[in-house]
Amino acid sequence: MMIHPDKLLSEALPIVEQTLHWRDCALYALGLGVGLDPMDDGDLRYLDETRLLVQPTMANVMGYPGFWMRDPRFGIDATKTVHGEHALRLHRPLPCSGTVRGTSRITRLVDKGAGKGALVYVEREIVDTASGELLATVNQTVFCRADGGFGGTAEAVPAHPMPGRASDDTITLPTSPQAALIYRLSGDFNPLHSDPATALSAGFARPILHGLATFGVVGHGLVKQLCGGNPAALLAMGGRFSAPVFPGETLQLDLWHDGPGRASFRASVPARDTVVMNNGFAEF
């Protein structure tokens, strides 16, 4: 299959309105492993409706258009797509209730060549429908392994460069064995994350954690370590997915302090000696 760039860029992506309840915010936090220690008062603030805070990475599931690439009118072989990079910018603290609208658009197509695939860059703006205020901007890069060779000339956006020195700080972030089963209830029902047979057919011994769940676990760690536990202090984060995480694994988050309000990060699973998220950046 080959991408037809003019047609793809002209196709309208789904616009999604979503009404939120505090339970949605608590469920999202549980999917990240928040509350594994029920005595951690910092975690309980994301689960207790009487003083609820919202995880900043919950913007990833707000106004989410679903797996729109599956629609044949887009001309993409959806069975051979991989979520490559992801970034999030927060413009104001996220609400724990109300209605939001997500508007997505394709911003760039990169042809890596015939047999080498293509990159599709997608941006989603999330707006509070009552006030009209922009809440967050989500940027996603999808690697379409079977869709190169259409003749595009755009260049890929370079990854955030990592420091060459040893990390300045390291923390560990546990996940729950049920993490993927809980996280999927926030809207991503891909059976790769819940059905053992589907995972096995895809080459995995068992279901893997959603990439954006890993992103959220890392975001929770960034808020704890860089923002003093204040989710409103995280302004932006992003990085490149490099390997899957299995539910129940413990992540190691290595941090580099790049200057006031800036940091680089890398996440790994030490038990498998595997980097799962690389070229990470945070602004706070």
Q: Which residues are catalytic?
A: 188, 193
Extended beta strands in 31-116, E state: 81-90, 98-113
Give the residue ranges of DSSP H helices in 94-226.
179-183, 196-201, 211-226
Please give the Cα distance from 5 to 63 (Å, whole number).
25
List of long-range contacts for 124-130, beta carbons under 8 Å, 24+ apart: 124/63, 124/64, 124/65, 126/59, 126/62, 126/63, 126/100, 126/101, 126/102, 127/100, 127/101, 127/102, 127/103, 128/95, 128/98, 128/99, 128/100, 129/17, 129/98, 129/99, 129/100, 129/101, 130/98, 130/99
From residue 212, alpha-carbon distances to 147, 180, 184 in Å are 23, 10, 10
